Amino acid sequence: MAQQHGVGGGSVVDWAALPARALRCVFRRLSDAQCTRCRLVSRAFCLAADRVSARGVTLKALAHWEAGTYDKANACLLRALRRDPKFTPALLALRGLYRWMPALNDHHCDCLVATIDSSTRDQRACWALAHRGFVQGLCTQPLAQQTATAVYITGYWKSLIEEDHVAAVALFEQAASANHAGAFFNLAWCVSRGLGTGSPDPVRAVQLYEQAAAGGHAASMFNLANSLWDGTGTQPNRKRAMQLYRRVAEWGNLEATFNLACCYDTGDGTEKDVGRAAELFAVGAAQGHAESIFNLACCYSEGSGVERDITKAAALYRRGTEEGHAGCMWGLAQCFYDGFGVPMDRGEAVRLYKLAADRGHSDAMCNLGACYALGEGVKRDFATAAKLYQRAGDLGHAGAIYNLGTCFEAGVGVVSGDVRQAVRLFRLAADQGEVEAKRILVQYTTDTV
């Protein structure tokens, strides 16, 4: 690949300080350059400049790109795509970024660019380019690995695009016989789900993950740790699972870091250490891992492992909300409802509860139902409240099941009062540990039912 290039050619420009009009002029001048890669990136950020809502993350990425910290630019753009998979400026910027990065060979770039294009164009055509790029790039590998990799990539193509899992498994088997770590991993994935093999075989999947993990394959180590933790296909061994999580976390795997943090948080598989848990949640949160952001916010909200700080908690919930995390939407709604870390605003709480409920968050459904039942932040509507309690109850939310029982008991929000149905719901909620449901059940006798 070519040597590194900079956009500004000197000191780093504060792109965010420039107005959109100036940005467009700068990028359009850059687009007249002879460098194709420069044109790709400039076109992307020119589009971003025209959309105020898109400027923040793309301008951050541009600052990293200009400074030569391509990994951070890549992280910014991928974060934007997690929010909106068809975010055109980020897609175009990634294309340019991958064409620019000196650490990648041209064939690898073809694969990455084709993969990105597949989100907005004909997927078969784009993956055909990716497949060709991978195979053409084999010349960068030792001769002994070229055949195995070609077979592995063809198997990947068969599985992902043609959905011919039987053929894919045969190819993965062939590549695995040459000790190709990626083939072991994909074969284990297919075997664990019965894709192309007839029926799931978790025992063999673990054996395959073991073989790939022995070769240092990080994803296989992570999946093997999950199997050891749950006892899927093998005897549970949480001590070894923790060792694998630690090793993969040291390599920067955020999912492993998060799992490790959860272990310390609950004391499951290791000695409980909420301080260490908070530290690990902070590592993931700093890199945009949404679950880590949510859990770190909970730590600050509860004072678990850190000094309680509801303002920081609210700020973290807001960050996670911007990433599209339903739990963070619910947490921020709670903050607005109670006025914790932000000014009290029941209307904003209702808006956030709705966003989280639309994403299947049962706590948000229950809280939103309560808002409708009480007329807090929204016009009172018992029928809507009952429907929300039903939705959350169908997901197993004990509090919602109890609340729905009170609707039937009082005959509000439902077709008619039904004490038998109310008591049935109270019992369901009580069986799940709902304290209030247990209390109210003592008021009913068998004769009443």
DSSP string, 296-321: HHHHHHHTSSS---HHHHHHHHHHHH
pLDDT in tens, 234-243: 999 998 999 9
375: alpha, beta or left? (left if phi > 0; alpha if psi -120 to 50): left
Considering 157-161, 170-174, 287-291, 294-298, the range whose residues carry the highest mean pLDDT is: 294-298
pLDDT in tens, 350-383: 999 999 999 999 999 999 999 999 999 999 999 9
Least confident of 104-108, 167-171, 240-244, 445-449: 104-108
pLDDT at 149: 56
Q: Which residues contact 25 (CB under 8 A, 6 or more apart)?
A: none
Band the pLDDT of 2: cuts 50, 70, 90: very low
Q: Which residue has the higher pLDDT, 416 or 82?
A: 416
Band the pLDDT of 131: cuts 50, 70, 90: very low
pLDDT at 74: 61
Angstrom distance (rounded) from CA 268 to CA 262: 8
Residue 34 pLDDT greater than 50, yes or no: no
pLDDT at 159: 61
Would you state the torsion angle of the CA atoms of residues 276, 277, 278, 282, taken in this order, to the nearest 10 degrees? 100
Where b means 16+ CB within 10 Å and e means fewer, 340-378 reads bbbeebbebbbbbbbbbbeeebbbbbbbbbbbbbeeebb
69 three-class SS: coil
pLDDT at 288: 84
Residue 7 pLDDT greater than 90, yes or no: no
Q: Which residue has the higher pLDDT, 70 or 328?
A: 328
pLDDT at 162: 59
8 A C-beta contact, residue 115 and residue 66: no
Averaged pLDDT for residues 402-429: 92
Mean pLDDT of the chain: 76
Q: Is 382 exposed, middle or buried (0-12, 13-18, 19+ CB in 10 A)?
A: middle
pLDDT in tens, 159-177: 655 577 788 788 888 878 8
DSSP designation for 170: H
8 A C-beta contact, residue 449 and residue 419: yes
